[in-house]
A and B are shown apart, each in its own frame.
Chain A
Amino acid sequence: GAVVSQHPSWVICKSGTSVKIECRSLDFQATTMFWYRQFPKQSLMLMATSNEGSKATYEQGVEKDKFLINHASLTLSTLTVTSAHPEDSSFYICSARHPWTGNTEAFFGQGTRLTVV
C-alpha cells in the first residue's frame, strides 16, 4: 500500500501554544489529504479536506482559525493547532487518497497524539 508519514507521533505542549503536525505522502502525489480527530473510544471525525494549492474545506463545527491547514505541495500537508487548550488533546490522523486507486481508498499516517497541559 501507499505510504503516508505523519510527524510527530506524539507531542505535549503547554496551554496557549501552537503545535504543527506534518503529513507527507512518501511514494505518491496527493492532491487531496484529509485531517481527522479521534477521541478515546470514538470513531474518526473528519475535520477538514486539504487541497493542494487552495484553501482547505472545513467540516461544520471545526474552527478554521484555530486549525490552520496548509497544503503547499503535492506531498505535504500541515495542520497547526493554534492556542491549544486541554480540550484539544486528541489523536490527530491524516490520510491521503492514492491516485491509482481512483482517489477512493485512503491511506493513513501514523497519527499524532497531542496532549495539552
Chain B
Amino acid sequence: QKEVEQNSGPLSVPEGAIASLNCTYSDRGSQSFFWYRQYSGKSPELIMSIYSNGDKEDGRFTAQLNKASQYVSLLIRDSQPSDSATYLCAVGATVGGGNKLTFGTGTQLKVEL
C-alpha cells in the first residue's frame, strides 16, 4: 500500500478555472504536509505547507487539510497555462528521531487555453 497517494492525471482544466488536486496518506502520525510544483526536467519547488486542520490560503493557492480523513488538497484559482506542471504532495513524519518526507507520485495538471 502506497504511503502517499495521488491521482496521476492528467487533470485538464480551462484557463481561469479552479484546479483541485487531492492527496491521501496512510500514516496517522504525519505532522506536516506540503505541495510542490515540478516542471518537466526541473526539481520540485515548494508552493504550500500546512500543519493544522482547515484551510490555508496564499495568493491563488489554497491548501486544505483534514487529518481525520487523512486527506490534503490543493486548490488553484484562476488557473493559468504557466500552472501546467506536476504537483507533488509530500507528507512529513518523525521517523527514528528525524523528520522524513514521503512523496506521492504526483498529479499532472494541464491548463488549456
Main secondary structure of the interface of A (DSSP, over half): strand
A106 engages B43 (CB within 8 Å)? no
Give complex CA distance A103, B99 in Å: 8
- Give the interface centre of B44, B96, B98 by most chain A CB atoms within 10 Å: B44
Q: Which of A11-19, A38-46, A82-90 contacts B (4 or more CB under 8 A)?
A: A38-46
B99 engages A104 (CB within 8 Å)? yes
The closest CB in chain A to the CB of B51 belongs to A104
Residues of B within 8 A of A (CB-CB), count? 25
Main secondary structure of the interface of B (DSSP, over half): strand
The closest CB in chain A to the CB of B88 belongs to A43
Cβ of B49 within 8 Å of any chain A Cβ, yes or no, is yes
Residues 17-66 (chain B) with a chain A CB within 8 angstroms: 31-32, 34, 36, 41-46, 49, 51
Q: 5 smallest A-B Cβ distances: which pairs?
A: A111-B43, A43-B105, A108-B43, A43-B103, A104-B32
Further contacts, 6 of them, CB under 8 A, given A42-B105, A44-B88: A34-B101, A43-B105, A97-B99, A105-B34, A111-B43, A113-B41
B: which residues have CB within 8 A of A? 31-32, 34, 36, 41-46, 49, 51, 88, 90, 92, 96, 98-106
